[in-house]
Structure 1
Amino acid sequence: MNAIQIDGKAIAGALRASVARDVALLKAECNVSPGLAVVLVGDDPASSVYVKTKAKQATAAGIRSQQFGLPNDVSEAELLNLIDDLNADDAIDGILVQLPLPGHINGGRVLEAIDPKKDVDGFHPYNVGRLAIGRPALAPCTPLGVMHLIKTVVSDLNGLDVLVIGRSNIVGKPLAVLLGDAGCTVTAAQIQTRKLGELCRKADIVVAAAGCAGLVRGDWLKRGAVVIDVGINRAIDSDGDAKLVGDVAFAEASKRASHITPVPGGVGPMTVAYLLSNTVSAAVWRRGLSLKVSHPVHHIRPLNHREGVRAG
């Protein structure tokens, strides 16, 4: 029996609808219109399409979206000046600098320049640190999306064994924290981990985020495991056509898993949806509002009353 596919597109659509309701509530009760600024340096086609998608979905949810396109040879000082201006602009609640940046720009310095309370990507050291010590923070969008997808098919995470393959600052590391706080026993692995297949066979949930096409084979999986594939890799099929594939050998894994995310159409849509959700949370948090906004899945890191916000 093949695994049930977890429909990230449909689940993300429901989340965006919830965000739109929150935005309408903010406007009606607090006269606040959340604003998102997206900064794109250079003209990389993939990044340009991604930024347009974010802007389109933000607008559809009622969020004011502003795009700032800078040339590839923009100086680091000019980029930092723009971020300073956006930090000071009270109409902007979220700032996102599209990665990767050109080699002459220090990405870490740029991300640290963003006001932590406008850091809707959840990459600022302030938010990373608060996440790690169990304090309310803006968490990275992809890990939040992964948690949401898992919770659509697993009602109780307490005591489950989870293997996270990939230890990036964007996905693997923060996701391990979120899963641990949800009661899971988490093993953090990477491509170089010895006996990786044996670790997979012990896991109730496998999250693959290593950036290696087809890394996780079907016979690596415990029968009935939940498989979340975060990887996006370009590959050439038998007809010589380019296609997107994940870190999991999908056809093989589908024969053993109970639930699995496809690539594309799994985790990707959730990342953008949580960018919008984080923008609303930032609008509430940084203004110290007591408005209760709805969240279809409980955030492990809610912006709660300790920060002057009651999260739903």
Structure 2
Amino acid sequence: MSALILDGKTLAKQREQMLKQRVDKLELKPVLATILVGDDPASATYVQMKVNACGRVGMGSRSVTLPETTSTEELLATISELNNDPQVCGILLQHPVPAQIDERACFDAISIRKDVDGVTTQGFGRMAMGEQAFGSATPAGIMTLLDHYGIELAGKHAVVVGRSPILGKPMAAMLLNANCTVTVCHSRTADLADQIGRADIVVGAVGKPELIRAAWIKDGAVVVDAGYHPGGLGDIEKDGLESRVSALTPVPGGVGPMTINALISQTLEAAELFA
């Protein structure tokens, strides 16, 4: 068996061409506002990648950079200004923010109409209930990737390893809405190897390098790795998997490009809804 490679990098490029055609049809150019608090180099790089993606599809971007000492109140005021700016169609608050800031309060201050990164409590609730809402970008990108490659989901047992409010939990909800039977595990799950060994679909979303061992994964499974760590490591050990599993995402080049693509796609959708 040779695994189907779920190539997010190539798919994202293909989708950007379609997104650009839709942007060109709009009278007003959609604008994504990005907020970066502090000077973390990795976060700055991620924000710039999103700004670059906007440019490739003809969308506008507005970068807001705030000092490391920013308070919750100051960040909330910035979000309020962007909520009320008619030119801004989507708002991204780069995670994580400095420790003194109430990140959840700031996420939830983003207007649900502009929550294109799918981080608000209201947006999560609507998505989980099957109502219209923008999904968290990484899980939404994963679902697009699985759909593109024709990965069957209905009736399958999916194990999501990770429970963060912007990755693991929305991933589980999206898979459940797609008629999977879903088990959510995490770093403290006592029988993690046994749980993963029963999975038809494994999603690594725990944020720890190679926590999920290749030997735990059964032959023929679909493997989705949402982690990225120094040295090109993911959350899932890949040794020998390509010859045993039915499909897997590369690291890098799998989930990451689809995360950015989902963010851009949902910003465009917000603009079309405004129009």
Give the Cα–Cα distance (whole angstroms) in 2 for the partners of residues 133 and 3 of structure 1: 33
Give the Cα–Cα distance (whole angstroms) in 2 for the partners of residues 152 and 202 of structure 1: 25
Quick check: 86-95 or 126-135, which moved more?
126-135
Aligned partner of 1:145 in structure 2 is: 141
Measure how far apart 1:141 and its partner are: 0.5
Quick check: 271-280 or 198-207, which moved more?
198-207
For 1:94-133, what aligned pairs fall within 5 Å after superposition? 94-133=90-129
Answer yes or no: is the 8 Å Cα contact 1:4–1:259 preserved in 2: yes
Give the Cα–Cα distance (whole angstroms) in 2 for the partners of residues 263 and 51 of structure 1: 19
Structure 2 residue identity aligned to 1:24: D
- Residue 245 (structure 1) aligned with residue 233 (structure 2): yes
Measure how far apart 1:155 and its partner are: 4.5
Q: For 1:9-65, what per-residue CA distance to the aligned partner results, in whole angstroms no more than 9, with x for missing partners?
A: 10111122222122112x1xxx23211100111111111111111111101111110
Structure 1 residue identity aligned to 2:96: P
Answer yes or no: is the 8 Å Cα contact 2:128–2:177 preserved in 1: no
Answer yes or no: is the 8 Å Cα contact 2:158–2:180 preserved in 1: yes
Picking from 234, 254, 257, the partner of 1:269 is 257
Give the Cα–Cα distance (whole angstroms) in 1 for the partners of residues 187 and 109 of structure 2: 32
Quick check: 202-211 or 145-154, which moved more?
145-154
Quick check: 187-196 or 157-166, which moved more?
187-196
Answer yes or no: is the 8 Å Cα contact 1:206–1:225 preserved in 2: yes
Answer yes or no: is the 8 Å Cα contact 1:217–1:252 preserved in 2: no
Quick check: 145-154 or 5-14, which moved more?
145-154
Answer yes or no: is the 8 Å Cα contact 1:229–1:263 preserved in 2: yes
Aligned partner of 1:50 in structure 2 is: 46
Secondary structure of the residue aligned to 1:244 is: coil
RMSD: 1.5
Return the TM-score normalized by structure 2.
0.95
Return the TM-score normalized by structure 1.
0.84
Picking from 267, 274, 278, the partner of 2:266 is 278
Give the Cα–Cα distance (whole angstroms) in 2 for the partners of residues 100 and 200 of structure 1: 28
Give the Cα–Cα distance (whole angstroms) in 2 for the partners of residues 156 and 266 of structure 1: 18
Answer yes or no: is the 8 Å Cα contact 1:250–1:262 preserved in 2: no
For 1:204-283, what aligned pairs fall within 5 Å after superposition? 204-234=200-230, 243-283=231-271
Give the Cα–Cα distance (whole angstroms) in 2 for the partners of residues 80 and 167 of structure 1: 26
Structure 2 residue identity aligned to 1:38: T
Answer yes or no: is the 8 Å Cα contact 1:38–1:67 preserved in 2: yes
Give the Cα–Cα distance (whole angstroms) in 2 for the partners of residues 21 and 91 of structure 1: 20
Quick check: 99-108 or 150-159, which moved more?
150-159
Give the Cα–Cα distance (whole angstroms) in 2 for the partners of residues 151 and 49 of structure 1: 28
- Residue 79 (structure 1) aligned with residue 67 (structure 2): no
Give the Cα–Cα distance (whole angstroms) in 2 for the partners of residues 231 and 114 of structure 1: 26
Give the Cα–Cα distance (whole angstroms) in 1 for the partners of residues 195 and 163 of structure 2: 15
Give the Cα–Cα distance (whole angstroms) in 2 for the partners of residues 20 and 9 of structure 1: 17
Unpaired segments ≥5 residues, structure 2 = none
Give the Cα–Cα distance (whole angstroms) in 2 for the partners of residues 99 and 136 of structure 1: 24
Aligned partner of 1:297 in structure 2 is: none
Unpaired segments ≥5 residues, structure 1 = 235-242, 290-312
Aligned partner of 2:159 in structure 1 is: 163
Aligned partner of 1:23 in structure 2 is: 23
Measure how far apart 1:98 and its partner are: 0.9
Measure how far apart 1:2 and its partner are: 4.0
Identity of aligned residues (%): 41
Structure 2 residue identity aligned to 1:17: Q
Relative distance call for 1:88 and 1:158 in structure 2 (3 A) is: same
Aligned partner of 1:11 in structure 2 is: 11
Quick check: 206-215 or 136-145, which moved more?
206-215
Aligned partner of 1:239 in structure 2 is: none
Give the Cα–Cα distance (whole angstroms) in 2 for the partners of residues 217 and 154 of structure 1: 26
Measure how far apart 1:216 and its partner are: 2.0
Give the Cα–Cα distance (whole angstroms) in 2 for the partners of residues 22 and 251 of structure 1: 41
Give the Cα–Cα distance (whole angstroms) in 2 for the partners of residues 284 and 197 of structure 1: 45
Whichever of the two has the greater Rg, that structure is 1
